[in-house]
Amino acid sequence: MFTVLLRFILTCALVVILSGPAFCAETFRVPILLYHRLGPTVADGMTIRTDVFESQMKYLHDNGYTVIPLRQLVDHYLGKVPAPKARSVVIVEDDAHASVYSDMLPIMRKYRYPVTIFTYPSAISNAKYAMTWAQLRELKATGLFDIQSHTYWHPNFKKERRKLTPDAFNKLVMTQLLKSKAKLESETGAKVDMLAWPFGIYDDNLIAKATEAGHRATFTIERRHATSTDNVMKLPRYLLVNADSGKAFVQLLEGNAVKRNVAY
């Protein structure tokens, strides 16, 4: 027993020296809850009714969950802060839909929950469904919202790879990553170093390009908790739909989410 314990201590000490203190921290499981748009009715598969969303936030509040900023979770993987406490949850949104400003903002102000918005700049102040730059800046000014990248115009990298030569594809990827990062930082003053992959599509080449572009964490769409053993460049998120309410929401938080086939 003593030999086993000594071996564990020495191994842990070596990892601390090589990789930072967080890697010997207590294990954890944190659900990253991904939303797209809210509304009075379920207009499509990515819409969650606003009253359902509010009931989910109330459940978190009433049942001892702590909503932490996504950056806090990432900083733990990078060895900067301790592991998240039990019953920690992260909330994110993809696409910067206008309903984030009209419907989500009042609810998050009520509960003081932090949110990370993954944004593709080509839509901002252009597409009718998206927020404006002024609205994004207003969200950031609340101190509750962090603005991060979802590439520049949300390409499907699988389709683009089939259409382009390897050199042209790599150029497209770097343009999508760097142009988005530069535009978001210029318009919002945010530090942009996190990326949500469009359609959840990624591979080792894309991750290498994201690292080259200055991203320190990237996010997929996998219906499971982020754990202490995950790679910070492949962190999973639950893509929530309106049916993830009531008992299904509780099951999801507990790590027993109902399997769903969602048309992204």
Q: What is the DSSP letter of 104?
A: I
- CA dist 31 and 250 (Å) reads 12
Higher pLDDT: 191 or 261? It is 191
Q: Can you give the pLDDT at residue 26?
A: 65
- The kind and range of the H/E element at 36 are none
* pTM for this model (two decimals): 0.89
Which tens digits make up the pLDDT trace of 191-233?
999 999 999 999 999 999 999 999 999 999 999 999 999 999 9
Cα–Cα distance measured from residue 23 to residue 15, given in angstroms and rounded to the nearest whole number: 7
Q: Which residues contact 195 (CB under 8 A, 6 or more apart)?
A: 118, 148, 149, 150, 151, 177, 210, 215, 217, 218, 219
3 falls in which pLDDT band (50, 70, 90)?
Answer: very low
Domains located in the chain, CATH noted: 29-253 (3.20.20.370)
